[in-house]
Amino acid sequence: MKIEKLNLDGKKDSIEVLDKIFSAKINKKLINNVLYKSNANYKGRHAKTKQQNEVSGPTSKIYAQKGTGNARHASKKAPIFVGGGIAHGPKGELAYKKRKINKSEKRNSIALFIALLYEILFTSC
């Protein structure tokens, strides 16, 4: 199958393409899934805060459990104290789960390439 397209110079060219590719149905849901998962996997997760076990400092109790009239506390590394660990902060690259593209999605992702080809061929004019 031949398709005509315009160059950047304004001259007409023809391109030979496979009939099998352009006769396939475009599955918008599949395109959305594949693009979403592949874009999500490229994002770097680099933010990390120190947890309570990673902060340097003594682990001894700051005062006696009873008799002080204050609340009971363990060490200065607790998130409630200044200089302590962060309670629910980002944990970095290791905590991030990659989104998997299934075999069937990979196999049928020809729809993605079809959409990209249509975009390149027919909107560049």
Write the pLDDT tens digit of every residue in 60-102.
898 899 999 999 888 899 998 988 899 998 887 654 567 888 8
List residues bridging with 14 in a β-sheet. Answer: 4
Name the nearest CA neighbour of 55 among 72, 33, 74, 76: 76
DSSP secondary structure letter of residue 72 = P
Contacts of 60 (CB under 8 A, 6+ apart): 75
DSSP secondary structure letter of residue 77 = T
pTM equals 0.43
DSSP secondary structure letter of residue 116 = H
Tens-digit pLDDT profile for residues 3-13: 787 778 888 88
Name the nearest CA neighbour of 87 among 52, 55, 42: 52
The CA dihedral of 105, 108, 113, 116, to the nearest 10 degrees, is -70
Structure tokens at 110: 């020809």
Q: Is 18 helix (H, G, I), strand (E, B) or coil?
A: coil
